[in-house]
Amino acid sequence: MLQIAHIQAHKEEVIAALQKRHFSKAAELVEKAISIDNERKSTQSSLNELQASANEVAKSIGALMQQGKKEEANLAKQKAAQNKQTVKELEDKFKELENNLINCLYEIPNIPHKDVVAGKSAEDNQTIEEWGTPPTLTDDAVPHWELIKKYDIVDFELGVKITGAGFPVYKGKGARLQRSLINYFLDEAIAAGYNEVQPPILINEASGYGTGQLPDKEGQMYEATADQLFLIPTAEVPLTNLYRNEIVKESDFPIKMTAHTPCFRREAGSWGADVRGLNRLHQFDKVELVVIEHPEKSYQRLENMLSHVKGLLEALELPYRVLRLCGGDTGFTSALTYDLEVYSAAQGRWLEVSSVSNFETFQSNRLKLRYEDKDKKKHLTHTLNGSALALPRILAAILENNQTAEGIKIPKVLQDYCKFERID
């Protein structure tokens, strides 16, 4: 959530920055927020003046009674009663305006970083790096959705039977490969200084608002309506909310956390060839990185997180590219996002496997997450997160890129985890 003080002080700059996202309601919502805030401030000023006046009247009643001025004292009592009612009305109005302001600010996305270009969609994202050479497969190579049937390692039909489409069942060596990837990603994160956490996979409404998943404009979260809880779309949500309403010390930075969780996304409106097999699921596993960082060091930290993810992909011998997302493709809460995509040789296209983002103060303002500097002053922290990594498309790329006539070769870095060298 943007800070209203920043919007008030830099209105035109904020509107211009939001237009890089092609956010059509930028000017309308910024003007609305400023108008509500001005009325809120005016109401607060009137309330302060009336409360001060009411206190003086209340004090005068006792003095008038001691002086025997009962008539004047009774008039003062009547005025005090009127003041009390007016104060209550102004307090209610102030609370309503505060709620209106917060709800308005909830609708405004984050300001893109200066390096983000003003593109409209994924076609305008900037490729900033490529690594590796896509493998040359034999003419009889097939996509992963055929490989998983051939080797009986992932079963979508059983998932439909148990739950529905988009909830696969991993079996045998498929399940072991999945578990090996999770353990490898966690071990690498821990070695890089991240503290492992096992958070809940259900969150309350306050947590959803804290990291920007709520208001849930696109209906992408699964909701347990009886208890007003939501299944997490990513471990970013519970991990970051561990520090909601907290004041950390400057010496605590960086606060680095990692977690493996299942993730749940409705993916409403998704269809077509691009979502076949493991390409897009309603439930999938992911190892997440979350960092709470000093504002002056957050972009250095973002590059560090990006390097960590690149190292994982290189160890898995998966050709990848790094994209800096344009304004129109950057997520609602992010100031700057790098996407990492691996090349799927059998499908002949790039698959997104990680997003690494800096949210600056957008989440911490919602979370009321601050740090105390050496002068005891409070400031908002910066928050960052990254997938390291999301498993389905990683698994798909490993299966497709490593298929041979003898079976599917397992990357060397995973063989000690899997306890097998190939799927055959």
179 and 257, same domain (yes or no)? yes
Same domain, 185 and 244: yes
**Is 74 part of any domain?**
yes
Helix residue ranges, H only, 264-403: 298-315, 362-367, 391-401
330's CB contacts (< 8 A; 6+ apart) are 21, 112, 116, 336, 337
What is the sign, positive or negative, of the torsion defined by CA atoms of 147, 148, 152, 158? negative
Residue 358 assigned as binding residue? no
Specify the pLDDT at position 270.
Answer: 53
Q: Identify the domain boundary among 75, 106, 137.
A: 106
Q: Average of pLDDT values for 360-385?
A: 97
Closest alpha carbon to 189 in 314, 342, 293, 312: 312
What is the rounded CA–CA span in Å between residue 264 and residue 220? 9
Mean pLDDT value of segment 322-328:
98
Q: For residue 303, give the amino acid letter.
A: E
Lowest mean pLDDT among 60-64, 82-86, 103-107, 418-422: 60-64
Please indicate if the annotation marks 288 as binding a ligand. yes
CATH number at residue 13: 1.10.287.40
265 is in an annotated binding site: yes
Q: Decide if 314 contacts 132 (C-beta within 8 A).
A: yes
Q: Give the pLDDT of residue 54.
A: 73
Residue 348 has pLDDT above 60, yes or no: yes
User: Once rounded to an integer, what is the mean pLDDT over residues 346-368?
Assistant: 97
At 265-306, the pLDDT tens digits run 998 655 555 678 999 999 999 999 999 999 999 999 999 999
Give mean pLDDT, residues 95-122. Answer: 96
Statement to judge: residues 372 and 278 lie in one domain: yes
pLDDT in tens, 307-321: 999 999 999 999 999
Look at residue 117 and tell me if it is in a domain: no
Distance of alpha carbon 350 from alpha carbon 357, whole angstroms:
20
**Does 360 show up as a binding residue in the annotation?**
no
Token representation of residue 127:
């490729």
Residues 94 and 142 in one domain: no
Mean pLDDT of the residues in the chain:
94
190 and 68 assigned to the same domain:
no
State the pLDDT at residue 79. Answer: 77
Q: 95 and 155: one domain?
A: no
Amino acid, res. 324: R
Q: Is 330 annotated as a binding residue?
A: no
Can you tell me the mean pLDDT for 239-244? 98
> What single string gives the DSSP state of each residue in 96-111?
HHHHHHHHHHHTSPPP
The residue-averaged pLDDT of 356-376 equals 97
Q: Same domain for 259 and 333?
A: yes
Segment 386-406, tens digit of pLDDT: 999 999 999 999 999 999 999
Q: What is the pLDDT, as a whole number, of residue 352? A: 97
Q: Which of 106, 134, 154 is at the close of a domain? A: 106
Name the band, by pLDDT with cuts 50, 70 and 90, for residue 68.
confident
- Give yes or no for residue 44 having a pLDDT over 60: yes
Residues 287 and 251 in one domain: yes
> How sure is the predictor about 63, in pLDDT bands with cuts at 50, 70 and 90?
confident
Token representation of residue 362:
């957008």
Q: Which is it for strands 378-380 and 195-196: parallel, antiparallel or unpaired?
A: unpaired
Q: What is the DSSP letter of 123?
A: G
Domain limits for position 226: 122-423
Please tell me whether 266 is known to bind a ligand: yes
Percent of the residues in the chain that have a pLDDT greater than 90, as a whole number: 86
Proportion of the chain above pLDDT 70, given as a percent: 96
Query: Domain check: are 141 and 209 in the same one?
Result: yes
Establish whether 40 is an annotated binding residue. no
Split into its structural domains, the chain has a count of 2
Confidence of residue 261 (pLDDT cuts 50, 70, 90): very high
| Any domain includes 116 | no
Is the same domain home to 136 and 52? no
User: Does 353 carry a binding-site annotation?
Assistant: yes
Among the candidates 106, 140, 162, a domain finishes at 106
Does 234 belong to an annotated binding site?
Answer: yes
Q: What tens digit of pLDDT does each residue of 410-420 get?
A: 999 999 999 99
Same domain, 247 and 316: yes
**pLDDT class of 71 with cuts at 50, 70, 90:** confident
